[in-house]
Amino acid sequence: MDREDLFMKKFKYYKRNNPKPSLEQVILFNDEYTILKQVNNIPHTKNDPRTEILGLKDLRVWQSLAFSDHPGFVIIRNPFTALGQRYWIRKCLEEYSKSPNKRNIDIDTSLNDWWSECYKSGKCDKKFQNKLRWTTLGYHHNWDTKVYSEESKGIFPSELAELCEVVAQYLGYEPFRAEAAIVNYYHMCSTLSAHTDHSEVNLDAPLFSFSFGQSAIFLLGRHEKTIEPSAFLLNSGDIAIMSKEARLCYHAVPKILPATKCPWSDIVRPVQKSNIHLKCMKAEDISEMNKNIKENEWRNFENYIAESRININVRQVLMENQITL
Ligand SMILES: O=C(O)CCC(=O)C(=O)O
């Protein structure tokens, strides 16, 4: 007898709308959670000088959770500032969505600037806006062959690589080189089916997954779909890391849920030039972060994220000493 696909069973359960699934078994990161499960807070006595310009809070207040049932899986609970959330949401919409990054909409259009095109007529073309489902950065993920190649590769955004470096250092996963990313754009009815991420040559390097906007139920299973997955609620700003034993586990997103908190709307404080110690930071980087304080600069992005979720999924492709594929 075939062994039951318990992953699919759970996926269908959380996906359904009528009747709505119970969220009783979903692992929520409220304060009671710490009593129920193992907490793995990494004490940091020193901040990293890059945090503020990357839109991150001081490392000393970050909260990371590890799970005894899922070794290698870690969640850092929203370490982003409100301004940082705005910065990364805007990057994904305005910049990472431009060609030559690859996008699902490339089949239908050759236009470079999807975000500007959405507002071409002066008001938002929602139908066109909702067509963007993914973009790929760095080594482009090949959805058919699942094989990366040197011939299909763009420049990986340096700020995103630096963000991953700070998170990797915090967790002690060094050295990590961000070389490929998928940015997923979810609407309220979107799902992502069960899969493993196994295209990378380097399957020891962790995978960093950043969530912004509306919340998601994230299912994490094991190496076979016959094992029942756990359901986690990912909220805006949460970073999920799949490392070690969890790196090759099945995972999926069966449901997007309305966010109960909108951390991108919390009080925004400007980044002060005097706080930035990084040698490579330029005045433009600070103003790029601070421009989203102005409501008129931020409004269109806020409207998008009020009904959407964005996930940035970053991988190292090559082995530590490898230069090309
Ligand atoms: O959206 C998510 O949280 C997961 C995305 C994912 O698994 C992927 O892009 O491979």
pLDDT in tens, 143-190: 999 999 999 999 999 999 999 999 999 999 989 999 999 999 999 999
Q: What is the whole-number distance in angstroms between the Cα of residue 80 and the centre of ligand 1? A: 19
Report DSSP state, residue 141. P
Q: What is the CATH number of domain 6-315?
A: 2.60.120.590
**Cβ neighbours of residue 264 under 8 Å, at least 6 residues apart?**
82, 85, 86, 89, 212, 213, 236, 302, 305
User: Taking a C-beta distance cutoff of 8 angstroms, is the pair 190, 307 a contact?
Assistant: no
**Cβ neighbours of residue 234 under 8 Å, at least 6 residues apart?**
75, 211, 215, 216, 217, 218, 240
Segment 201-256, tens digit of pLDDT: 999 999 999 999 999 999 999 999 999 999 999 999 999 999 999 999 999 999 99
Which of 184, 249, 314 has the most ligand 1 atoms within 8 A of CB, as the residue to mutate?
A: 184
Q: What is the whole-number distance in angstroms between the Cα of residue 290 and the centre of ligand 1? A: 29
Which of 311, 315, 317 has the most ligand 1 atoms within 8 A of CB, as the residue to mutate?
A: 311
Is 251 annotated in some ligand binding site?
yes
At residue 35 the predicted structure's pLDDT band, cuts being 50, 70 and 90, is: very low
Q: What is the whole-number distance in angstroms between the Cα of residue 180 and the centre of ligand 1? A: 13
209 lines ligand 1 (CB under 6 A): yes
DSSP-derived secondary structure for 241-280: EE-GGGTT--EEEEEEE--S--GGGSPP-PPPGGG---TT
212 lines ligand 1 (CB under 6 A): no
At residue 3 the predicted structure's pLDDT band, cuts being 50, 70 and 90, is: confident
Domain chopping of the chain, boundaries:
6-315
218 lines ligand 1 (CB under 6 A): yes
Using the predicted structure, report yes or no on whether residue 285 has a pLDDT greater than 80. Answer: yes
Q: What is the pLDDT at residue 279?
A: 52
At residue 137 the predicted structure's pLDDT band, cuts being 50, 70 and 90, is: very high
Using the predicted structure, report yes or no on whether residue 266 has a pLDDT greater than 50. Answer: yes
Please provide the distance, in angstroms rounded to a whole number, between the alpha carbons at the two ends of the chain: 42
Burial class of residue 292, CB neighbours in 10 A (0-12, 13-18, 19+): buried
Is 108 annotated in some ligand binding site?
no
Q: What is the whole-number distance in angstroms between the Cα of residue 166 and the centre of ligand 1? A: 21
Using the predicted structure, report yes or no on whether residue 32 has a pLDDT greater than 70. Answer: no
